[in-house]
Amino acid sequence: MKTFKIGRTSVSVFIGDITTWTGDIIVNAANSGLLGGKGVDGAIHSAGGPEIMEQCMEIRKQQGGCPPGNAVITGAGRLPAQHIIHTVGPIWEGGGRREEHTLAECYRNSLLLAIEVGARSIAFPNISTGIYEYPKAPACDVALKAVTKLLEEDLPDNRLDRIDFVC
């Protein structure tokens, strides 16, 4: 495990299972339909139970899904976290279609939503590096830059003291 500080926030990177992570919010690498899927998305829905899908369907009724780069929040069902933030990463198409910007927005919008609900801790999976095929090393760079940039903004309502990247 690697741990470092950005301001007062502890940031850790480690290998683990995000569905067993204990804290306020886990982030789900969702699809735009919020319909569950494979990889992290499937694991979260499976471990968390049907309540998560029911809440995702309510969001779909209200706003029709979640576009890439955006984020929405639900309860965590049977998971040990309190909430799940569902964010939709970009599908890798070689880097010429603003994938870096969209991926950075996933992290930024997820953090802003966590701050809005008063979270103190949040865990991220690798967003877009599975079925969406974003190369892992550049995705890691985007994630760390996006998180660092937001934490350096010193937002007045930010109570986050722990951010974990669970790979």
Q: Which residues are catalytic?
A: 41
**Positions of E strands within 105-161:** 121-124
Put the strands of the sheet holding 71-75 in their side by side order. 2-6, 9-14, 162-166, 121-124, 25-30, 83-88, 71-75
CA distance to 5, 28, 81, 107, 136, per residue, from 139 (Å)? 20, 16, 24, 11, 5
Whether the CB-CB separation of 110 and 122 falls below 8 Å is answered with yes
Whether the CB-CB separation of 162 and 22 falls below 8 Å is answered with no
Q: Cβ contacts of residue 162 below 8 Å, gap of 6+?
A: 9, 10, 12, 23, 120, 121, 122
Rounded-to-integer distance, Cα 102 and Cα 106, Å? 6
